[in-house]
Amino acid sequence: MNKKSLNKTKIVDKFDFIYLGSDWFLTCNDEIYLTKNGNKVRIPNENYLELLRQEFRSLKIKNNTNPSLIEILISHADKSTYGKSTYVDEFIKYLETDLLFYRVTNPKSLSESQGSKWDKIIDIFDITFQTTWDTSSFIMPLKQDPVSILKIKEYLMSISILNLHIMSYLLKVTGSCIITVLCNLRKLGIEEAWEAVYVEELWYNKIYNDDEKSKELNSKMSEIDFYFKLLDSI
């Protein structure tokens, strides 16, 4: 069975674990689970083992559109074989269009809301890493300071590949390398990150008060919270 055949409605019934040597591994139908690349899926530690047990017991996974922990670990088993540089290059590429660097000019109150939230986050990052970044109200990609980029690369290369893998999921939610790194360092909390990422949607929803949009935004906070839990469990 490979990743493509995963069915979330049956995932709880099919998967289990087995202890081999000094590690726990994922099993499926009482056999060692192999990824599409033929890799075993190792459970990183006891914390992740407990999170998987909770996932197996939870019915929420059955109708959840977000990646399950099982899917994340299966992806890690394959992608991690390519080394840290694969992840680091992905993060650096996000800097070309980082959410925090590109601002609107109108409406004025939205522009001010972006500035007040995003400038504070960039300041925290700059103090932490001694970096500098340019921002713009135009869509043309900015050419950022190469020394600042190098400092981010050095930090990312210094952390574990599992850490990078979990961060890569958070990166896709935030659209910001800056926010994701600060979340990993716990210099930015769940709600702060959520408010920064969805500042425009929250601004519009405050005006139009759309219940469906509110549910969607709350689900995004839950997703960010999930990745925080995974980072805390490394």
The domains located in the chain, with CATH, are 3-81 (no CATH), 83-232 (1.10.3580.10)
**Helix H or strand E segment including 166:** helix 161-174
Q: What is the pTM assigned to this prediction?
A: 0.91
| CA-based nearest residue to 97, from 177, 192, 211, 39 | 177
Q: Report the C-alpha gap between 156 and 151 in whole angstroms.
A: 9
Q: Report the C-alpha gap between 173 and 223 in whole angstroms.
A: 8
- What are the b/e assignments for 65-85, b being 16+ CB within 10 Å? ebbbbbbbbbbbbebbeeebe
pLDDT at 176: 98
CA distances from 119 to 102, 105, 111, 179 (A): 11, 15, 11, 12
Q: What is the mean pLDDT of residues 206-228?
A: 94
Determine contact, residues 74/67, Cβ cutoff 8 Å.
no
pLDDT at 4: 43
Beta pairing partners, 19: 24
Neighbours of 232 (CB within 10 A): 10
Portion of the chain with pLDDT greater than 90, in percent: 83
pLDDT at 13: 57
Q: What is the mean pLDDT of residues 65-72?
A: 84
pLDDT reading at 7 higher than 80: no
Q: pLDDT for 104-144, tens place per residue? A: 999 999 999 999 999 999 999 999 999 999 999 998 889 99
pLDDT reading at 66 higher than 80: no
- Confidence bin at 57 (pLDDT 50/70/90): confident
Phi, psi angles (nearest 5°) of residue 176: -140, 120
Q: pLDDT for 78-110, tens place per residue? A: 999 999 999 999 999 999 899 999 999 999 999
What is the distance of C-alpha 158 from the center of its chain? 18
pLDDT at 67: 80
- Mean pLDDT, the chain, as a whole number? 91
Q: Report the C-alpha gap between 104 and 26 in whole angstroms.
A: 47
pLDDT at 14: 82
DSSP code of 157?
H
Phi and psi based region of residue 176 (left: phi greater than 0; alpha: psi -120 to 50; beta: remaining) = beta
pLDDT at 63: 53
Q: Report the C-alpha gap between 164 and 39 in whole angstroms.
A: 19
- Confidence bin at 8 (pLDDT 50/70/90): very low
